[in-house]
Amino acid sequence: MRDSIVQIGLLLPEVLGTYGDSGNAQVLCQRLRWRGLDAEVVPVALGEPVPSTLDLYLLGGGEDGAQALAAAHLRKYRRALTPETVIFGVCAGLQVLGTRFRGLDGVDHDGLGLLDLTTVPGERRAVSELIATSSGLLDDAPLTGFENHLGVSKLGTGSEPLGQVVRGTGNGDGTEGAVTDHVVGTYLHGPALARNPALADLLLTWTAGHPLPPLELPEVDRLRVERLTATRRRRTS
């Protein structure tokens, strides 16, 4: 947060906006404003250069064609993004942040190489609620969202999983998402940062360089508990 106004980069929302992940930008903006900090969402459209000056960057999910288009554009501006930059990618965004992904047509595409993971199409589409335990990064707060993807992602040694799957598919091998330095990817839609406030605040803490004061939002906590309980109940019934 170099300037007085925190700039949240929303990368290619018209291409990577199919699953409502642009809402993550609104959540981050609002959580900063509730703490008395100025924040704005800076959308970066396809065809526009990606500035290196924004405080954090978000990528959402999208169909295979949209994802390939987004990757081709973002590769041109790869140098604007480093592992020290705070970056959060969801589904297609996660796959684009990886080193390589394969489309249904069998064509391999280079990703941005900010996460050490590769993605190939799986045997069947994962469409369900997704619950994962979080890694130590989030004090074991469960992660919740919904998933809708065919891709199966395999992590290399340069990334750690964001969590372990409790319900659903995630990466496809029992792990969910990936983290390298300040770059985080996940299969959780929702938007993920509305459903997982601790994850939102982790990204904001990294951006600020220090912990932010906690927010008391009992309504959000209540909805989160309700949703987790309902999903877990569906799993066992």
- Give min distance, CB of 124 to ligand GLN, in A: 11
Residue 31, interface with ligand GLN (CB under 6 A)?
no
Joined together, the tokens standing for residue 9 give: 């980069």
Q: Which of 63, 140, 173, 226 binds ligand GLN (CB under 6 A)?
A: 63
CB of 94 to ligand GLN, least distance (A): 8
- Binding string, 126-155, against ligand GLN, x = CB under 6 A? ----------------------xxxx----
104: Cβ–Cβ under 8 A, 6 or more apart, which residues?
64, 121, 150
User: How many other CB atoms are found less than 10 A from the CB of residue 142?
Assistant: 18
What is the rounded CA–CA span in Å between residue 103 and residue 150? 10
What is the rounded (10 degree) CA torsion for 98, 137, 194, 178?
Answer: 10
Q: Which element (helix H / strand E) includes 39? A: strand 38-44
Report which residue's Cβ sits closest to ligand GLN: 61
> Does 67 help bind ligand GLN (rule: CB under 6 A)?
yes
Q: Does 64 help bind ligand GLN (rule: CB under 6 A)? A: yes
**HSE, side-chain direction, 13 A CA sphere, residue 109:** 27
By CB under 6 A, residue 91 contacts ligand GLN: yes
* Footprint of ligand GLN (CB under 6 A): 19, 61-64, 67, 91-92, 148-151
